[in-house]
Structure 1
Amino acid sequence: MSEPVGARWEVAAFLGLTAATGLIDAVSYLKLGHTFVANMTGNVVFLGFAVAPESGFRLGPPVVAVVGFVLGSLAGGRTARAMERRPRRWLGTAFGVQAGVLLICGLLVGLGVLETTGGTSYLLIVALAACFGLQNATVRHAAPRDMTTTVLTLTLTGLAADNTLGNGRPAKPYRRLGSIAAMLAGAAVGALLLQATTAWVIVLAGTLVALAAAIFRLAPAG
């Protein structure tokens, strides 16, 4: 797929999406029963931990997160298939929908309609996980190499392996370092803000995703 916007705009958008992931995973892990809504590898491990009664992990949150993530990924895949030939509209629409759902979740949490404990927490988990399933499915088709926006395992592997000390081939590490820094910053800011508010952490993540959507719709081409 041709790049719909200039390379710097594109990288900025994907770094914003990565920071949003850090923010929301801070919410889901610290407030929603030790689960992740963007990192499904962690949820599979948590499901294994939950088999041991004394582990402190519950089956419900990761199961709901996986279901929501799969549904969001399905929607993202169908959207990509239908709109991939119009990349500006596709990416702007996909991330715009994600931003809208995040902002609505933040509003509902702020109003007390959705809570981080009890039955409504599961609705929040499935909605957030669907958002990041949609993001993953979209990024899978569109992102530059190593900018997955949700999982840093391959990014760290590439950073260590693809250099003169590793495979002997010089490589520019800036995007990889930027992805790591964005995820770290998002998680740190999320953890700090959660001491005072959950709703505004979700709103902040939604705002970052909305900015990414705006970049893909409006930024100049390369």
Structure 2
Amino acid sequence: MHLPVVLREARDTLVPDMDGPHGPLPPMLLVLTVLTGLVDAFSYLLLGHVFVANMTGNVVFMGFALAGAPTFSLLASVVALVSFAAGALAGGLTVHGARAHRGRQLQRALLVETGFVAAAMIVATVSGEPYTGGGRFTLIVLLGLGLGAQNACVRALAVPDLTTTVLTRTLTGTVADSRLAKGSGSRAGRRVLSAAAMLAGAFLGALALLNGHPTLPLVLAVILLAAMSAVTVPLARSDAAWTGPLSQA
């Protein structure tokens, strides 16, 4: 792994070639990765050890709860899983309704996600901390729906190494595909940026919560989503090559 190569890969992710196969999508998906860290910090730290974006974690938590481990709720993990699946269904319908135009796919999915996350922000503000009972489960449902829609869209966009939620394969690829492992090249620049974006979002979310600002992660998430939705307005009208199906991009 040569440092100049890593830096070039990182630069190309942050400032992509607009005539390339993915156009402006890589930096936008990095922003969504930051958002995932923010929202999962809120859900894990304030909603009782449950994730709304990382479903692998929830399956593990279900095992902990079934074994009787304290502080883990089987019901909360199940609700998060079901809500995420419903959000993925909504996101899939939204994406497929965009007729394979990747700019419109992103725009419409972001609008759906913004609605759910904004609703969660309002519920969190009105109900106030601590989040218990119906308020807690309402937040889990709304955030699970929003992040499920995000994941459905990201899957359709299919930008390598930028899943916005799952880092295990990304980190594995960084090492397993590296020159040190006699691989063809690890795309470490992009992959490290993806991990750093998740870390940054989780750090900012936890920092806000630990300093007594329980709704701030959701406020920041809504701001990011609103800004990205605005950016996608011209993208949804573009006829650039990257907007077509990936096989044609």
TM-score (norm 2): 0.81
User: Which one of the candidate residues 116, 124, 144 is aligned to 2:131?
Assistant: 116
Q: Superposition pairs for residues 73-152 of structure 1, below 5 Å? A: 73-112=88-127, 116-152=131-167
Conserved? CA contact 1:99–1:207, under 8 Å = no
Secondary structure in structure 1 of the residue aligned to 2:217:
helix
2:187 alignment counterpart? 172
CA–CA separation in structure 2 for the residues paired with 1:93 and 1:80: 7
Deviation at 1:79, TM superposition (A): 1.6
User: Which one of the candidate residues 54, 62, 67 is aligned to 1:47?
Assistant: 62
Secondary structure in structure 1 of the residue aligned to 2:66:
coil
Rg larger in structure: 2
Secondary structure in structure 2 of the residue aligned to 1:62:
helix
Q: Counterpart of 1:176 in structure 2: which amino acid?
A: R
Query: Greater relative contact order: 1 or 2 (C-alpha under 8 angstroms, separation 6 or more)?
Result: 1
Conserved? CA contact 1:114–1:121, under 8 Å = no
Deviation at 1:48, TM superposition (A): 0.6
Secondary structure in structure 2 of the residue aligned to 1:53:
coil
CA–CA separation in structure 1 for the residues paired with 2:158 and 2:208: 29
CA–CA separation in structure 1 for the residues paired with 2:150 and 2:69: 34
Cα distance per residue 1:116-174 (max 9 Å; x no partner): 22221101101100111101111001041010001101110111111101233134322
Which is further off, 77-86 or 153-162?
77-86
* Unpaired segments ≥5 residues, structure 2: 1-16, 243-249
Which is further off, 98-107 or 166-175?
166-175
Say if 2:220 is the partner of 1:204. yes
CA–CA separation in structure 2 for the residues paired with 1:180 and 1:189: 14
1:184 alignment counterpart? 199
Conserved? CA contact 1:108–1:114, under 8 Å = no
CA–CA separation in structure 2 for the residues paired with 1:117 and 1:76: 28
Cα distance per residue 1:75-104 (max 9 Å; x no partner): 111122221423322211111221122123
Q: RMSD of the TM alignment (CA)?
A: 2.0
Distance 1:119 1:108, change over 3 A: closer
Distance 1:193 1:113, change over 3 A: closer
Q: Counterpart of 1:165 in structure 2: which amino acid?
A: L
* Unpaired segments ≥5 residues, structure 1: none
Conserved? CA contact 2:155–2:163, under 8 Å = yes
Secondary structure in structure 2 of the residue aligned to 1:50:
helix
2:39 alignment counterpart? 24
Conserved? CA contact 2:49–2:71, under 8 Å = no
2:10 alignment counterpart? none
TM-score (norm 1): 0.90
Conserved? CA contact 1:14–1:212, under 8 Å = no
2:13 alignment counterpart? none
Q: Counterpart of 1:161 in structure 2: which amino acid?
A: A
2:5 alignment counterpart? none
